[in-house]
Structure 1
Amino acid sequence: MSNSPNSINAEAPQDSALSTAAITLFGIVGPYSFLVSPVVTGQMAGQLDWSAGTIGLIMGCELAGASLVSFPAMRLLRVLSPRTVALLATVLFILANVASSLVTSVELFLPARIVAGAAGGVLSVVALVSAGRSANPPKAFAYWSGGQTVAAAVGLLYLPDLFVHTGIGGIYGCLAAAAALSLAVIAGFGNGLLQSLSGGGERHNLKAARWVLVAIFGFYVAVGGAWAFVGIPGAELGFTDAGIGILSSLAMTAGILGSVFASHVGGKAHHNRFVIASYLLLVLCLGVIEFVADHMVFAAVIVLLQVLWSFLLPLLLASLADSDDDGNMVILSNMIIGGGAALGPMLAGYTIDFLGGYGAVATEGGIILLLSAAAFARSQALAKGAAIQAPSSSLSHG
C-alpha cells in the first residue's frame, strides 16, 4: 500500500491506547441501534403494537439521519477539531436517547430517533476519520469493526432479557449512559483540523478512492443481504429460530478473530492478495450455505462468513484511507456503509419474493462480491498509477 505525501495518514500521530479506545467505543455507540435492529424492531412490535410500516419508517429515518449527516460532518471537521465535534455530537446523542427512553408516541419518538441517528452518524464519522488518520489504519479499523461485532453479539443475546424488565426504553437509556461513559476517552480524538486540498492541492488518488467506495458499497450489499436471510437455509436443515439466533451470535463473537488477523496483516506487502482471497472465500461461503446438507458444516460456514466479514472490512477501509488525499472519502464511507447495509437486505428480500429460495440470493450476492472485488482491483491499479505520477507532478510544479 502506498503512502502519498498528501495522505491523511501522513500527518497522523503515533497511535495510543487512548485513541484506540476512543475509536472503538464511539464506533460502537454511534451505530449500535442498527447493529441490534432485529431485537429492537421485535420489541417495538410486541410492546408498542406498532405496525411493520411504522417501525420501518422509524428505522429508515434514523438510518437516513445517520447517513446523510456525513455531508455536514465533512464541513464541521474543516472548522472544528474531531474532539470538539465528537463532544458536541455526544451531548446531542445523550439527550436524544434519554428522550427516546421516556416517550412512547410515534409523534415524539420519531424525531428523537432522527436526532439520535444524526448524532450517532457524526460519532461514526469522527471514529472513521480518526482511524484513517492513525499511524496504523488497518489496526485502527480492525478495532472499530471488531468492537461493533462483539458488542452486537452481546446485545442480540442479552437485550431480550433487558427488555423484560425495562421495555424498549432500556436500550436507549443504556446508550445514553454508554455515551456519557465514553466521554472519559474523548481526548483520544485529535485536536487539530483536517487538512483541505480545496485551495489548489492535487488529489492524485481521488479516482482510486472512489473505486474503493464502490467496492465497500458492493461488499455491504452482498454480504448484508445474504446474512439477513441466512435463517432460510438454516430452517431447511432443521435449525429452530432460537438455534439460528444462538449460532448467529456465536458467529459474530468469533468474528473478532477476523479483526485481530486484519490488524496484523493490513498494510503489509500482501495486503491486496488477502483482500482478493477474502472475496473469493466469501463467494465460496455463499455457495456452500445454499447447498450444504450437514448441520456442522453449515454452522462452520456461518462462522467463517462472519470471520471473513470482520477481516475484509478493515482492509477495505484501510485501502480507502490510504487512497484518500484529504479525508473526504473516508467521511463519505459512513454514508456508503449505511446505504449498503440498508439496500442489501431489501434487495435480497425482493430477490426471494420474485425468484424464490436462498439460492437466488447466494447467486446474486456472489456476483455482487465479484464486481466489488473488480472495483477494488481497479482502485489499486489507479493508486499505483497515481503513485508514479505524483513525484513527477510535484517536480513540474517546483
Structure 2
Amino acid sequence: MNTSTIDKNQALSGEQPHAVSPRARLAAIVLFAAIIPTILMTAPAVAAQLASQWHLGPSQIGDLFATELGAMSLATLPAFWWLKRIDWRRAALLAGALFIGANLLSIWAQSYPALLALRFASALAGGSLMIICLSSAASTANPSRVYGLWVMGQLVVGALGLSLLPHLFEQYGLAACYLLLAVLMTLCLPLARYFPRGAASPAQSTQPAAAVPTWKAACGLLGILGFYISLSGVWTFIGSISAQAGISAQASGELLAVATVMGIVGAGCASLIGNRLPRLLLLLLGYALMAGSLLLLLGAPTLARFALAALAFKFTWTFILPLILACLADLDRSGKLMNASNLVIGGGLAIGPTLAGRLIENTGGFQPLLIGGACLSLLSLALILGSRRAP
C-alpha cells in the first residue's frame, strides 16, 4: 500500500491524516529515537560485561558493535523501497515487534554466532525505526527544535544507562540490558500511532514545490559525512590525547563525564533556540567553536585547556547536529533524504576512528589528526552552507 492510497482511504473515511497532536508526535519521535541506540550509547559498560560474562576478546566485542552499527545503517537500503509504499505507523509497529523479539531472544542466546545474529536483527529493526523518526521530524513545523530534542533524548538515556547498567549487571548479568530494552520498547509501541502515515503530500507541504538540485542534496549528505568523520575520529582518541599530555586517567574520566552533560546542554540549546535566531549565524558560530576546540588540544594541553576544549567540543557537536539535520529537512520532507542521512551517519562513525587510527600510527602524534579534524569540520560547514535553500 503506497502513501497515495493511504491518503485516498483516509479521505473516504473522513480521517484527517495529519490531525495528530504535535506534542504526541514529538513524544513518539523523541522516545523511540532515545531507546534505539542505547546499546551504542552505553558501549563501555556493555563491552566490559561482554568481556567478563561471555569471555569475549576485543576483536569479538568490536565485531559485535560493528554489526549493530552496520545493521542500523543498512536499514536505509530497504527503506528506499518501503518509505513510499508502506504506512509508516504499520512499519513502526512491525519494526518495534522485531526489536522486542530480538532483544528477548538475546537473553537466552547460548553462542556468539547466535548473539551476533540477534543483535543484527535488533539493530536492523532499530535502524528502520530511526528512519521513521528522522523522516517524521523533517515533516514538523520546526525541525531544528525536534532534532535538538532527538539528540538530547539519546544523550540522556545514554548517561542514565552508563550510571545504572553496571549495578544491574552485577545483579542480573547482561540479560538486564536486553530485557530493559524490550520493556521500554513495549511501553513506547502505542506511540507508533502518532507517526505520520507517510510523507506529506505536495498539498500538505509548506515547502516550495520546486525540486531541489541533486548537487545540493549531495552537498548536504557530504557535509554530514565530514562532520561525523571529524567528530568520531577525534572523540575516539581524546582520552589518549589527555594521557599523552600527562593528565591522569581519573581527571580525564571525570572531565569526559561532565562533557556528556555539556552535550545534553548543547542539544537542549539547539532545541530551545529553534527558529528564533538565523540558522546561518548559529551554524557559523557552532562550527567556529568546534574547530577552535580541536585546535586547543594541540601540543600538550594543560588540564584547564584540555577541560575547556573537551567541554566546548562536546557542546558544539550536539548543538550543530540538529541544525545540520534541519538543513536537510528543508531540502526534502518526503523522508528520502533523511533516510540517506541514516546511512551517511553510520558511515561517518565507522570511517572516522579508522582514518584517525591510521593517521596517528603513520605520523606518530595527534597534531595531524587535530588539524585535519578542524579543516574537515570547516569543509563540512562549506558543504552544508552550499546545500541550503535560497532564502
Q: Could you state the TM-score of these two structures normalised by the residue count of structure 2?
A: 0.88
Alignment match of 1:47 (pick from 53, 57, 62): 53
Q: What amino acid maps onto 2:304 in structure 1?
A: M
Q: What amino acid maps onto 1:378 in structure 2?
A: G
Q: What amino acid maps onto 2:263 in structure 1?
A: G
Alignment match of 2:385 (pick from 377, 385, 388): 377
Alpha-carbon distance between aligned partners in 2 of 1:225 and 1:15, rounded to the nearest angstrom: 40
2:319 maps to what in 1?
311
**How big is the alpha-carbon RMSD for the aligned residues of Structure 1 and Structure 2?**
2.3
Q: 261-270 or 145-154, which moves further after superposition?
A: 261-270
Are residue 349 (structure 1) and residue 349 (structure 2) matched?
A: no
Alpha-carbon distance between aligned partners in 2 of 1:240 and 1:172, rounded to the nearest angstrom: 34
Alpha-carbon distance between aligned partners in 2 of 1:78 and 1:184, rounded to the nearest angstrom: 23
Q: 65-74 or 159-168, which moves further after superposition?
A: 159-168
1:173 maps to what in 2?
179
Q: 260-269 or 273-282, which moves further after superposition?
A: 260-269
Alpha-carbon distance between aligned partners in 2 of 1:189 and 1:362, rounded to the nearest angstrom: 41
Contact kept? 2:239, 2:252, Cα under 8 Å: yes
Q: What amino acid maps onto 2:166 in structure 1?
A: P
Shift, 1:237, TM fit: 4.4
Alpha-carbon distance between aligned partners in 2 of 1:32 and 1:320, rounded to the nearest angstrom: 25
Shift, 1:333, TM fit: 0.9
Alignment match of 2:102 (pick from 96, 117, 130): 96
Alignment match of 2:119 (pick from 97, 100, 113): 113
Unaligned segments of structure 2, at least 5 residues: 1-16, 203-208
Contact kept? 2:244, 2:300, Cα under 8 Å: no
Are residue 29 (structure 1) and residue 35 (structure 2) matched?
A: yes
**Could you list the per-position Cα deviations for residues 291-324 of structure 1 after superposition, in whole angstroms to 9, with x for gaps in the alignment?**
4633233223212211111110000000000011
Q: 268-277 or 210-219, which moves further after superposition?
A: 268-277
1:160 maps to what in 2?
166
Contact kept? 2:139, 2:199, Cα under 8 Å: no
Alpha-carbon distance between aligned partners in 2 of 1:245 and 1:185, rounded to the nearest angstrom: 37
Q: Secondary structure at the match of 1:79?
A: coil
Distance 1:179-1:123 versus aligned 2 partners, 3 A rule: same
Q: What amino acid maps onto 2:358 in structure 1?
A: Y
Alignment match of 2:295 (pick from 287, 301, 317): 287
1:71 maps to what in 2?
77
Alignment match of 1:337 (pick from 342, 345, 348): 345
Alpha-carbon distance between aligned partners in 2 of 1:290 and 1:364, rounded to the nearest angstrom: 12
Alignment match of 1:141 (pick from 136, 147, 160): 147
Q: Could you state the TM-score of these two structures normalised by the residue count of structure 1?
A: 0.86
Shift, 1:328, TM fit: 0.7
**Could you list the per-position Cα deviations for residues 187-229 of structure 1 after superposition, in whole angstroms to 9, with x for gaps in the alignment?**
3212345559xxxx86334432221111111101101111111
Shift, 1:15, TM fit: 6.2
2:232 maps to what in 1?
224
Alignment match of 1:250 (pick from 255, 258, 282): 258
Q: 185-194 or 88-97, which moves further after superposition?
A: 185-194
**Could you list the per-position Cα deviations for residues 356-384 of structure 1 after superposition, in whole angstroms to 9, with x for gaps in the alignment?**
2222221121121121112112213xx22
Alpha-carbon distance between aligned partners in 1 of 2:156 and 2:378, rounded to the nearest angstrom: 28
1:18 maps to what in 2?
24
Alpha-carbon distance between aligned partners in 2 of 1:166 and 1:368, rounded to the nearest angstrom: 44
Distance 1:203-1:13 versus aligned 2 partners, 3 A rule: farther
Alpha-carbon distance between aligned partners in 1 of 2:377 and 2:21, rounded to the nearest angstrom: 32
2:136 maps to what in 1?
130
Shift, 1:253, TM fit: 1.8
Q: Secondary structure at the match of 1:234?
A: helix
Q: What amino acid maps onto 2:228 in structure 1?
A: Y
2:93 maps to what in 1?
87
Q: Secondary structure at the match of 2:56?
A: coil
Distance 1:46-1:241 versus aligned 2 partners, 3 A rule: farther
Q: 268-277 or 213-222, which moves further after superposition?
A: 268-277
Distance 1:54-1:19 versus aligned 2 partners, 3 A rule: same
Alpha-carbon distance between aligned partners in 1 of 2:19 and 2:365, rounded to the nearest angstrom: 50
Shift, 1:64, TM fit: 1.6
Shift, 1:14, TM fit: 7.9
Alpha-carbon distance between aligned partners in 1 of 2:251 and 2:161, rounded to the nearest angstrom: 16
Q: Secondary structure at the match of 1:289?
A: coil
Shift, 1:169, TM fit: 2.4
Q: How many residues align?
A: 370
Alpha-carbon distance between aligned partners in 2 of 1:88 and 1:188, rounded to the nearest angstrom: 15
**Could you list the per-position Cα deviations for residues 19-58 of structure 1 after superposition, in whole angstroms to 9, with x for gaps in the alignment?**
1111111111122211222222232123212122222222
Distance 1:286-1:12 versus aligned 2 partners, 3 A rule: farther
Are residue 300 (structure 1) and residue 305 (structure 2) matched?
A: no
- Identical amino acids, percent of aligned pairs: 33
Q: 38-47 or 359-368, which moves further after superposition?
A: 38-47
Shift, 1:280, TM fit: 1.5
Distance 1:13-1:257 versus aligned 2 partners, 3 A rule: farther
1:189 maps to what in 2?
195
Alpha-carbon distance between aligned partners in 1 of 2:144 and 2:278, rounded to the nearest angstrom: 13
1:60 maps to what in 2?
66
Alpha-carbon distance between aligned partners in 1 of 2:149 and 2:197, rounded to the nearest angstrom: 21
Contact kept? 1:220, 1:341, Cα under 8 Å: yes
1:393 maps to what in 2?
none
